[in-house]
Structure 1
Amino acid sequence: MDEDCNGAIDHEELKKCLRKLDVSFTDEEINDLFKACDINEDMGVKFNEFIVLLCLVYLLKDNATALETKSRMGMPNLEATFETLVDAFVFLDKNKDGYVSKNEMVQAINESGERSSGRIAMKRFEEMDWDKNGSVNFKEFLFAFTRWVGIGDLEDEEEEV
């Protein structure tokens, strides 16, 4: 989907990508998706941001025509992955308000049977709370998850070396 091979998908490439997947979004919806997934606001969606974008597209387009699109996106493996991500977030979001608080994180870790739950919960929470506002939304959770499983761009990997 990165037609100019610059390591990021720009706005026009995203439009073409969604057309190839036969996903119908208005220009406003595409703009919103682009802004939501361009977390570092560099006007380009990197690989890990693209994974988050695909998950959001998958979740937003859950209707009859989306079934065909989902099969083009590499389902059922991708579908199972996205469903697992949603299930994990729902497990953490104890009060079902769409955000995970520090208390909910501790509660979820405690339920998992982990012994050093407080320290682990706070470390994971800090990794997820990108905007440092004390709560984690689904998008922040997805971005953190991509780092946990090693999905990142080369810049991130080079900086860590």
Structure 2
Amino acid sequence: MGGIVGRDESQKALMQETKLEAKIIEAVRKREAQGSSMKSFNSIILKFPKIDESFRKCKTTFEEFDEDGNGSIEPQELKHCFRKLETKFTDEEIDDLFEACDINEDMRIKFNEFIVLLCLVCLLKEYPTAEQDVSRKSQRGMPNLEATFETLVDSFVFLDKNRDGYVSRNEMVHAINETTTGERSSGRIAMKRFEEMDWDKNGMVNFKEFLFAFTRWVGIEDMDDEEGEGNM
């Protein structure tokens, strides 16, 4: 076990965190201190339909902030979006979020990237506690992602066994083995799921990578592809 931990630690030492990534990891670790209610990877899979439904309800909000109607949100549109939502982020922080979620590096936020961005905003900002404040923000178009976001964080916490803010390959294998005890295919399943999450191939999965994988797992990227074909 010590060898496994050692390899994970050495991989983390090679990674360079941006200021935003450091904030995300810090926020995730604070949440991880509360533990997870998830009992198995299957319990996460069972949440897929409800999460998919919640994500798709954000489409109207996305279209509202896509001011020129080109199917994506540009940097200035995102800043307008944040002002309408009255979130307390500086222009620099908004730019950092945009860059972090623009995985295609085309200076456009697609719908799946918008979902991830909203989840990161939920993680980094404090939710209003007064019902009136919540109602006011809902009227401005902010989707009620809080319950879905909590499910996503809960799922990540379940996978991150050592509570360090990252999911390693070994932790993924452990999580899958808990679900598929005795099945010979469990190792292959774990590796496939891990590779789907580890898009930068550095051997460690952070919360943002996990969110992008989740959008694919519930079919959000397929939704974008279908709409793209319809517009051709």
| TM superposition score normalised by structure 2 | 0.62
Q: Is the 8 A contact 1:7 1:46 kept in 2?
A: yes
Matched, 1:144 2:208: no
Task: Supply the distance in 1 between the matched residues of 2:115 and 2:165 (Cα, whole angstroms).
Answer: 20
| Residues 88-146 of structure 1: per-residue CA shift (max 9 Å, x gap) | 11111111111111100001111224533211000000000010111110000000110
* 1:137 alignment partner AA: N
* 2:209 aligned partner, one-letter code: E
Write the letter of the residue equivalent to 2:147: A
Instruction: Specify the code of the residue in structure 2 equivalent to 1:97.
Output: D
In 2, Cα distance between equivalents of 1:111 and 1:6? 44
Residue in 1 aligned with 2:94?
A: 30
Rate the CA distance shift 1:66–1:21 in 2: closer, same or farther, 3 A: farther
Q: What is the CA–CA distance in structure 1 between the aligned matches of 2:169 and 2:149, rounded to whole Å?
A: 24
Match of 2:85 in 1: 21
Distance in 2 (alpha carbons) for counterparts of 1:156 and 1:22:
30
CA, structure 1 residues 65+35, in 2 after alignment: closer, same or farther (shift >3 Å)? farther
Compared CA separation, residues 33 and 95, structure 1 to 2 (3 A) = same
CA shift in 2, pair 1:126/1:156, >3 Å: farther
SS in 1 for 2:220: coil
Give the conservation status (yes or no) of the 8 Å contact 1:105–1:121: yes
Give the alignment's Cα RMSD to 1 decimal: 2.2
Aligned residue among 165, 173, 179 for 1:112: 179
The one-letter code of the counterpart of 1:154 is: D
Work out whether residues 99 and 136 of structure 1, in 8 Å CA contact, stay in contact via their aligned partners in 2: yes
Structure-2 change in CA distance of 1:22 and 1:51 (3 Å): same
- Look up the match of 1:87: 154
Tell which has more relative contact order, 1 or 2 (C-alpha 8 A, sep 6+): 2
Following TM superposition, the consecutive aligned residue runs of length 4 or more in structure 1 with deviations greater than 2 angstroms are 63-71, 112-116, 153-158
Aligned residues: 156
Distance 2:100 2:143 in 1: 23
Contact 1:22 1:69 in 2 (8 A): no
Mind listing any 5+ residue stretches in structure 2 that lack a counterpart? 1-64
**Is there any run of 5+ residues in structure 1 with no aligned partner, and where?**
none
Q: Give % identity.
A: 74
- Structure 1 or 2, whichever has the larger Rg, is 2
Q: Does the CA-based 8 Å contact 1:100-1:135 persist in structure 2?
A: yes
Deviation at 1:156, TM superposition (A): 9.6
TM-score after normalising by structure 1: 0.88
What is the Cα deviation at residue 35 of structure 1? 0.5
